[in-house]
């Protein structure tokens, strides 16, 4: 074909080739096995693109995860040991990227959608020390089905408009070791999160047995009904047709057979009641709704033994699913509403995670049956208890992270990990907190606090540079051209994204009532914006605090005594370490340090047209009470090892499921083509694992920077 190829397909292929390493380019694509989604026919265009995307993921992926959440065990440190640490801190304080030798780090090729909320927890109302006031969930809500194929930019071009760490105040390091390169693979199996429960124990899936309960139905309940009967019963249960009942003929008319059918219907289809009827000399089991449409949401009280706790607690092992997605899947298969599930914290998608879940009046037997029909899920460690779980009850999370293809020497790794163990890392809010598009979430939050509702609307809906789904681009273009919310809404195939919800609100309430229109967006998603602004201020102020005073407590710093913040006096300064110092997130119910940083807070908020002395908003939801957050976190249970390997696709440690299946742990050769750093550590709630990894590698964790490093490395 003469001339330069203009097709978007060729451009994507070109970008793909640019991201492959020379040795991988030399290997034929056919020699690199790529999973193919079942919906894609061999040889189809989508099949090719799916394979291309999977190959890129395998070769270049860096998925720096969003921090998960856990509690720091502040062990007391002997004065001599603390003095030794302080001496190291004083000599090692580094700023920004100064003096770092950056070896290129192959970066992520994510193409994220709209700003996404960062998972956070609420551990109790009105608590001074609580970081988060609401659980915040990612809600893109967009389906890729039916998405039009658009001309693609190169990955570097798509991410060049994103944020860097400098943009959100992440500029300091606490350690003096030399940074090195490593790949945190896009493969979720290199990032494993185990929840730490309220008893301080790390959750593991290690028992698939079902508690013995004489009142449980037999296993026959899962096989006694035909597929057609199950389909009819499900349609009845979910009010999908006008039938008021479903009759099932009893072929082998025995009391035992009738009992099993009764049990099967009641167990598998909550909300349905059954009775036996004689019709023309034949026995039928008739299923019908016990209590109208409410029956689906509320399991029948009379069918649950009084001696058994109302909640079945279990450990959920999941791969590549976030917590809410997982619960939606479980509720769909159990035919119940998601709100009967409870948990202590949400876990991210791009990982293997293990956490405790509780569900109201669903038997362990039914839950265990899901292990036979669900992929990438495993349920076990069942028990019946009286109470559900509550958000924020967890003590933290334990991480197992693999950094592959590291360039650091054994001595560099040793110094970096010893520093992480002894000193810790700056407790910055990670990049995920601020969104991944050209309009950061903190800018929207600032406009909300300023009561600038037209700006809020414009920031969310205006056209933006960078990577977005095609229909979002068309929606924004329509909005910019017409300012007609209904016309812009018609460009969205799915309306559950923030943009769709706001446009729906504007259609309903009109352009003169943006406040009510914005209120259609779920509360957690709205609060995510103002929490993002608080985080932005906190990051910047902590960087200034460390730049001004270093890594030791000074008079005027704040520490917590119980739930109350107090100042460090001159005579008490030696009684504290940097690990005791907290800094406030701005709000009406916090105090600020009594030194230069107090004025820095005031200057920053004044520059943003906000009054630090009046953080109450005329709309109560947007009034910020503030909170306190430790500036340095020292991870607990830190361990590490450097291993050699040849195959970049093999797992480097066993998961809980591997151990249940009796798989032997990986055996490593003394030498290999690549080296990997396997890290284990525990973090408190609302701290970011990416910030701990940043301190080890000394790299910018933003997607923008990873992509730029990638393209620089390939030149």
Average pLDDT estimate for 45-68: 38
**Sequence-distant (≥ 6) Cβ neighbours of residue 293 within 8 angstroms:** 239
From the list 273, 267, 172, the residue with the least C-alpha distance to 215 is 267
Alpha-carbon distance 157 to 591, whole Å? 43
Whole-Å CA distances, 179 to 47, 380, 696, 700: 40, 41, 7, 11
**Do both 617 and 649 map to the same domain?**
no
Pairing of strands 94-95, 311-319: unpaired
In this predicted structure, what is the pLDDT of residue 171?
94
Q: Is 283 helix (H, G, I), strand (E, B) or coil?
A: strand
Alpha-carbon distance 569 to 558, whole Å? 10
Please list the residues that pair with 397 across neighbouring strands.
195, 683
Q: Could you report the per-residue pLDDT of 373-391, keeping only the tens digit for each? A: 889 999 999 999 999 999 8
Alpha-carbon distance 545 to 584, whole Å? 12
**Do both 338 and 204 map to the same domain?**
yes
In this predicted structure, what is the pLDDT of residue 711?
40
Residue 338: CATH number of its domain: 3.30.70.3160
Task: Among 521, 537, 568, give the residue marking a domain's end.
Answer: 521
Instruction: Please say whether the beta carbons of 112 and 428 come within 8 A.
Output: no
Alpha-carbon distance 164 to 168, whole Å? 7
The model's confidence at residue 51, banded by pLDDT at 50, 70 and 90, is very low
**Do both 538 and 674 map to the same domain?**
no
**Do both 531 and 582 map to the same domain?**
yes
Instruction: Please say whether the beta carbons of 583 and 538 come within 8 A.
Output: yes
What predicted TM-score, i.e. pTM, was given to this entire model? Answer: 0.68
Number of domains, the chain: 5
Residue 360 domain-assigned (yes or no): yes
In this predicted structure, what is the pLDDT of residue 656?
95
Alpha-carbon distance 495 to 346, whole Å? 24
Alpha-carbon distance 33 to 338, whole Å? 37
SS3 sequence of 579-630: HHEEEEECCCCCCCCCCHHHHHHHHHHHHCCCCCCCCCCCCHHHCCCCEEEE
Q: Is 583 helix (H, G, I), strand (E, B) or coil?
A: strand
In this predicted structure, what is the pLDDT of residue 559?
97
Residue 512 domain-assigned (yes or no): yes
**Sequence-distant (≥ 6) Cβ neighbours of residue 281 within 8 angstroms:** none
Instruction: Please say whether the beta carbons of 494 and 486 come within 8 A.
Output: no
Alpha-carbon distance 517 to 507, whole Å? 8
Average pLDDT estimate for 314-321: 94
What DSSP string describes 559-582?
EEETTEEEEPPGGGGGG--GGGEE
Residue 613: give the domain boundaries: 527-630
**Do both 207 and 340 map to the same domain?**
yes
Residue 433 domain-assigned (yes or no): no
Residue 447: is its pLDDT beyond 80? yes
CA angle 395, 401, 406 (to 5 degrees): 150
Average pLDDT estimate for 458-475: 81
Residue 426: is its pLDDT beyond 50? yes
Instruction: Please say whether the beta carbons of 47 and 41 come within 8 A.
Output: yes
In this predicted structure, what is the pLDDT of residue 21?
40
Average pLDDT estimate for 381-402: 94
Sign of the dihedral defined by the CA atoms of residues 686, 690, 694, 696, in that order: positive
Residue 574 domain-assigned (yes or no): yes
| 463 or 540, which is more confident | 540
**Do both 538 and 611 map to the same domain?**
yes
Instruction: Please say whether the beta carbons of 704 and 160 come within 8 A.
Output: yes
> How buried is residue 111: exposed, middle or buried, by Cβ count under 10 Å (0-12/13-18/19+)?
middle
H or E element in which residue 420 lies: helix 410-422
Residue 105: is its pLDDT beyond 60? no
Residue 510 domain-assigned (yes or no): yes
Alpha-carbon distance 688 to 702, whole Å? 13
**Do both 467 and 553 map to the same domain?**
no
Q: Could you report the per-residue pLDDT of 343-357, keeping only the tens digit for each? A: 998 887 888 999 999
From the list 637, 588, 617, 498, the residue with the least C-alpha distance to 136 is 498
**Mean pLDDT over each residue of the chain, to the nearest integer:** 76
**Do both 337 and 203 map to the same domain?**
yes
Residue 642: is its pLDDT beyond 70? yes
Tokens of 476: 């924004």
Which residues carry out catalysis? 348
The model's confidence at residue 600, banded by pLDDT at 50, 70 and 90, is very high
Query: Looking only at Cα atoms, what is the longest distance across the chain?
Result: 95
The model's confidence at residue 42, banded by pLDDT at 50, 70 and 90, is very low
**Do both 551 and 614 map to the same domain?**
yes
The model's confidence at residue 468, banded by pLDDT at 50, 70 and 90, is low
**Do both 387 and 318 map to the same domain?**
yes
Task: Among 601, 630, 659, give the residue marking a domain's end.
Answer: 630
SS3 percent helix, strand, coil of the chain, rounded to 5, is 35, 15, 45
Residue 64: is its pLDDT beyond 60? no
Task: Among 584, 603, 630, give the residue marking a domain's end.
Answer: 630
| 467 or 632, which is more confident | 632
């Amino acid at each position: 074909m003469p001339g330069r190829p203009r097709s978007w397909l060729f451009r994507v292929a070109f970008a793909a080739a640019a991201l492959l390493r020379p040795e991988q380019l030399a290997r034929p694509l056919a020699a690199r096995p790529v999973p193919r989604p079942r919906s894609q026919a061999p040889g189809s265009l989508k099949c090719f693109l799916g394979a291309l995307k999977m190959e890129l993921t395998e070769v270049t992926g860096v998925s720096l995860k969003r921090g998960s959440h856990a509690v720091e065990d502040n062990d007391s440190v002997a004065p001599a040991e603390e003095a030794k640490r302080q001496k190291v801190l004083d000599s090692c304080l580094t700023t920004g990227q100064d003096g770092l030798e950056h070896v290129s780090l192959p970066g992520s090729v994510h193409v994220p959608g709209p700003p996404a909320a960062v998972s956070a927890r609420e551990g109790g109302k009105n608590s001074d020390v609580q970081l988060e006031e609401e659980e915040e969930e990612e809600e893109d809500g967009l389906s890729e089905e039916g998405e039009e194929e658009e001309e693609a930019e190169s990955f570097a071009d798509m991410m060049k408009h994103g944020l860097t760490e400098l943009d959100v105040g992440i500029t300091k390091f606490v350690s003096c070791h030399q940074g090195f390169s490593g790949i945190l693979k896009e493969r979720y199996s290199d990032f494993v999160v185990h929840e730490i429960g309220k008893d301080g124990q790390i959750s593991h899936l290690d028992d698939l047995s079902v508690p013995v309960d004489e009142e449980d139905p037999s296993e026959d309940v899962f096989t006694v009904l035909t597929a057609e009967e199950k389909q009819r019963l499900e349609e009845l249960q979910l009010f999908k047709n006008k039938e008021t009942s479903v009759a099932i003929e009893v072929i082998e008319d025995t009391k035992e057979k009738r009992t099993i059918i009764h049990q099967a219907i009641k167990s598998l289809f909550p909300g349905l009641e059954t009775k036996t009827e004689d019709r023309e000399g034949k026995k039928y089991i008739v299923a019908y709704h016990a209590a109208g449409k409410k029956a689906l949401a509320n399991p029948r009280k009379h069918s649950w033994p009084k001696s058994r706790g109302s909640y079945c607690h279990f450990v959920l092992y999941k791969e590549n699913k976030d917590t809410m997605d997982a619960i939606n899947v479980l509720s769909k298969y159990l035919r119940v509403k998601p709100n009967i599930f409870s948990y202590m914290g949400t876990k991210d998608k791009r990982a293997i995670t293990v956490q405790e879940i509780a569900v109201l009046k669903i038997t362990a037997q039914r839950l265990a049956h899901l292990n036979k029909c669900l992929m990438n899920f495993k349920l076990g460690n069942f028990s019946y208890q009286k109470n559900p779980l509550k958000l924020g009850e967890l003590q933290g999370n334990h991480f197992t992270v693999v950094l592959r293809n590291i360039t650091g020497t054994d001595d560099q790794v040793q110094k970096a990990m010893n520093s992480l163990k002894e000193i810790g890392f700056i407790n910055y809010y990670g990049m995920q907190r601020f969104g991944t598009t050209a309009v950061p979430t903190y800018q929207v939050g600032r406009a909300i606090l300023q009561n600038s509702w037209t700006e809020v609307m414009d920031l969310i809906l205006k056209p933006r540079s960078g990577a977005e789904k095609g229909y979002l681009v068309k929606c924004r273009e329509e909005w910019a051209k017409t300012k007609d919310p209904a016309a812009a809404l018609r460009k969205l195939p799915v309306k559950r994204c923030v943009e769709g919800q706001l446009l729906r609100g504007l259609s309903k309430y009109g352009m003169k009532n943006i406040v009510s229109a914005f209120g259609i967006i779920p509360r957690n998603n709205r609060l995510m914006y103002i929490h993002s602004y608080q985080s932005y201020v906190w990051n910047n102020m902590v960087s200034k605090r460390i730049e001004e005073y270093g890594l030791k407590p000074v008079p005027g710093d704040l520490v917590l005594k119980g739930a109350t913040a107090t100042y460090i006096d001159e005579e008490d300064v030696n009684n504290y370490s940097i690990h005791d110092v907290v800094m406030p997130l701005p709000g009406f119910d916090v105090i600020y340090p009594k030194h230069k940083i107090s004025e820095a807070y005031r200057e920053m908020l004044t520059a943003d047209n906000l009054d630090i002395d009046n953080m109450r908003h005329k709309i109560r939801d947007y009034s910020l009470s503030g909170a306190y957050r430790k500036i340095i976190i020292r991870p607990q249970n830190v361990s590490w090892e450097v291993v050699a390997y040849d195959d970049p696709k093999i797992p480097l440690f066993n998961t809980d499921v591997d151990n249940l299946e009796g798989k032997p742990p990986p055996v490593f050769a003394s030498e290999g083509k690549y080296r990997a750093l396997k890290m284990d550590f525990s973090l408190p709630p609302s701290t970011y694992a990416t910030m701990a990894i940043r301190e080890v590698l000394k790299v910018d964790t933003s997607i923008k920077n990873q992509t730029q490093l990638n393209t620089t490395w390939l030149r």
